[in-house]
Copies of this chain bind each other. A is one copy, B any other.
Amino acid sequence: MRVGIIGANGYSGIELIRLLHEHPHVTLNLIVSHSTSGTPITELYPHLQAIYEEQLEALDVDKVASQVDFLFFATPARVSKDWLPSFTQKGIPCIDISGDFRLNNPDVYKQWYQAEHTNAEYLSEAVYGLADVYPEAIKHAQVIANPGCYATAALLALIPLVEKKLISTKSIIIDGKSGVSGAGRKPSLTTLFGEVNENVKAYRLGKHQHIPEMEQILTEVSGDTVQVTFSTHLIPMTRGIMCTIYADLQETITTDDLIHAYDMYYDHTPFIRVRPEGSLPSTKEVYGSNYCDLGVTVDKRTGKLTIVSVIDNVVKGASGQAVQNMNLVNGWDIDEGLKYSPVYP
């Protein structure tokens, strides 16, 4: 199958190249970038020498459509909404790694993304690509909205418990910690080494655009109107997201019961690993891989539940989950091209 990437020169795009290059069922036929078209990708990323040396192309809808059977958008926010429908109209399934098709409600999109959605009629058609939770819906989708990185880590931890009514949906607090790659490769003051190294910085408290997609899904799953308290922190590492999640338990339940509930819920997927009681995952333990690792602990003193969820934001939080979604759409094994062990140390 011939695949293409729109927005191939960012970190998500480049990770797609790494994953697709080794995927047994696809050929990466086209890489597109508006800002750097005409440049060989190896000029921007010398690590691809002798691996993938093609030139970035301009975005010409007809030309792209003639060259690919499947398309990934790894573009910044507010780009794919204008372009993606042109391709699905031509019968090319698309996975959008940006946030443009995640929210059902165009008003909510406008509020959190500060832009009018130009193709709002496609929002209802798009399937939220949380691949380990919605495999069946994804199999039949033409537009897949790949979830946000923080949302992936948080929702994979919360959905099984919310669905089973084990926690109070009024009490959810998510403390997110992310490596810097999530901010992309565009030069900016806040992502300079001199500013990030030996530093931890809280940012966009209560204002992060992954909030509405978390609330939308948790509301659907629970039947309640869920609001979450969500804060994000930039920490001095490149890859990795940890969400530390606090919630009140609805009933007396042990840590062991919770581990069992997760194991049941994620029985069908190899990508969710639940740590045994007393053990908590760290981000390095999923580095470079498509795993989401979960650890859970009930504080017997206070009765509060704490969940630790970790992913590699560039893999499970972006390009790896996108490949998993492509596998689902095409009926391939869900771990095809994703059998990478974490790189440790």
Interface-side segment among A55-63, A81-89, A101-109, A295-303: A295-303
Q: Which of these, B205, B295, B345, contacts A280 with CB under 8 Å?
A: B205
Assembly CA distance A242 to B177 (angstroms): 12
A254 located at the interface, meaning its Cβ lies under 8 Å from any Cβ of chain B in the complex:
no
Assembly CA distance A343 to B285 (angstroms): 15
B282 touches A49 (CB 8 A): no
The residues of B that contact A228 with a CB separation of less than 8 Å are 302
A301 touches B206 (CB 8 A): yes
A127 to chain B, nearest CB (A): 27
- With contacts A50-B270, A192-B193, A236-B193 taken as known, whether A18 is within 8 angstroms of B341 at the C-beta atoms is yes
Assembly CA distance A239 to B287 (angstroms): 13
**Copies of chain A in the complex:** 4
A235 touches B236 (CB 8 A): yes
A1 located at the interface, meaning its Cβ lies under 8 Å from any Cβ of chain B in the complex:
no
A14 located at the interface, meaning its Cβ lies under 8 Å from any Cβ of chain B in the complex:
yes
Assembly CA distance A306 to B230 (angstroms): 10
The residues of B that contact A18 with a CB separation of less than 8 Å are 341-344
Most-contacted residue by chain B among A47, A50, A203 (CB, 10 A):
A47
A108 to chain B, nearest CB (A): 12
A22 located at the interface, meaning its Cβ lies under 8 Å from any Cβ of chain B in the complex:
yes
Nearest neighbor of A297 in chain B, beta-carbon distance: B205
A295-345 with Cβ < 8 A to chain B: 295, 297, 299-302, 304, 306, 308, 310, 314, 339-345
A124 located at the interface, meaning its Cβ lies under 8 Å from any Cβ of chain B in the complex:
no
A341 touches B47 (CB 8 A): yes
A199 touches B281 (CB 8 A): no
Nearest neighbor of A239 in chain B, beta-carbon distance: B198
A30 located at the interface, meaning its Cβ lies under 8 Å from any Cβ of chain B in the complex:
no
Assembly CA distance A215 to B47 (angstroms): 30
A285 touches B193 (CB 8 A): no
A77 to chain B, nearest CB (A): 19
A193 touches B238 (CB 8 A): yes
A46 touches B285 (CB 8 A): yes
The residues of B that contact A187 with a CB separation of less than 8 Å are 187-189, 192
The residues of B that contact A339 with a CB separation of less than 8 Å are 22
Most-contacted residue by chain B among A50, A51, A198 (CB, 10 A):
A198
**Can you show 15 pairs from A to B with CB atoms below 8 A apart?**
A21-B341, A47-B342, A49-B273, A192-B193, A193-B197, A194-B238, A199-B237, A200-B283, A206-B299, A206-B300, A206-B304, A227-B301, A229-B302, A235-B235, A343-B343
Supplied contacts A180-B192, A185-B192, 17 more A-B pairs, CB within 8 Å:
A21-B341, A22-B339, A173-B304, A187-B187, A192-B193, A193-B193, A197-B197, A198-B283, A201-B280, A202-B282, A205-B280, A206-B297, A206-B302, A229-B302, A229-B306, A235-B236, A314-B345
